[in-house]
Structure formats: C-alpha cells, structure tokens
Structure 1
Amino acid sequence: MAQPNVTTAAAVADVLKTPATAPRFVAAYKAAEAATRKRCRWPYADSDGDPIPAPDDLVQAVILRTGRYMARANSPDGLVGMGDLGMMRVSSVDRDIERLEAPWRPVVFG
C-alpha cells in the first residue's frame, strides 16, 4: 500500500489564505506534497489497519514548502529586492523544512 497524502489541499490553502482551486496554488501544493511523500516515511496504519494521520511536523513541512513554491514563482531568477540593501539570493534550502522532515527520513547506508 502506498503512503497516503500528508494533508489535504483545502487544509493547506486555508492556512495560506489562498483559494484552493487557484492553478498556481494547486501546482505548488501537488509538488510540495509529492516532495514530502518521496523523502519521508511514517507509520500510516496501526496494528488493526486503521489509518493514522501524518505527523504534524510533516503537515507543517508541506504547508511551508507550498508557500515557498508560491513565493518562488515571484522570483524565477532566485533574486529578491531588499530595498536599500539591494538584491538578495533566495536560498534553495529551507532549514525549517529540513528540520521538520529530518526525523521521518529513512537512513541509507552504503
């Protein structure tokens, strides 16, 4: 059985205060959800086979990654204007997402 979704588009859209049907949001959400499911593993059923919701850390990671993807669309070259400070490069790594997902990533040896 494949892992279920971490969260729902409606829940993420509600937190980000954006329409859940907006094409830009849908694309960002699907990419964020897929990235988290690909990188992380969690117990998704108990001993009776009843579904267990995804951990709160992973739900928050999907929310942050979706918001990051949506914001990144405003700076396709990876630069943002910082007023008097000039241009700044947007980091490709989000330490908060890394921290939230770390306990759920499988450890690979060899």
Structure 2
Amino acid sequence: MLEIARRPILAMLEAYFMARRSMKNVTISLDEKLLQLTQAEAAKAGVSTSEFIADIVETALAAKAVKTGKNRQLEALERFFAGPKLNISENGRMPTAEERNARR
C-alpha cells in the first residue's frame, strides 16, 4: 500500500531529476577531510565527485518529498476522523444489511 502512495511523488521526482540536461555549476566549501572522504566514496561508486554529491542531494530531496506526501495523507486522515461523528446507529445498534440497503 505504501508503494501505491509513493508512486506519484516518485514519478514527479524521477521526471524532475532525469531532466537534468542543463547542469548548473555550484561552488561548495568542504573541509579537507570531508573532501577526501567524498572523493574516495565517489571513486568507489565509479562516478565523479560532482555526480556523487548531486546523487546525495537528490536522495535527500526525494526522501523529504516522500515524507511530506506521507504527512499530508496522515493529516487528511486525522482531519476526517476528527470531523463530526456520523450518526449511523439506530436505537443503539448498527443497522442490518436489509435496513442499510432499504430504499427510502
């Protein structure tokens, strides 16, 4: 069920990130040790340092989008359940199938 809920968000993110035809340059500052670790991990992954950092940012943004989508769904459920109570019982009992389906 979670997979179904994630599809629209992931599809949107996938389309966004796959359309990275025009890459922009960004200058970031890293201390020497962090830079060395990043370069080593990028080499292990077989990608450039720039691509490695871009992948990390993409992953973080995708995780945030999925979490945000999940929060919206939870908030909608909470609003529904906090809303006015439905009066579906008759004389303190739930209606039978015949009573529910009777044409009135």
Larger radius of gyration: 2
More helix by share: 2
Q: Identify, as 1 or 2, the structure richer in strand.
A: 1
For normalisation by structure 2, the TM-score amounts to 0.30
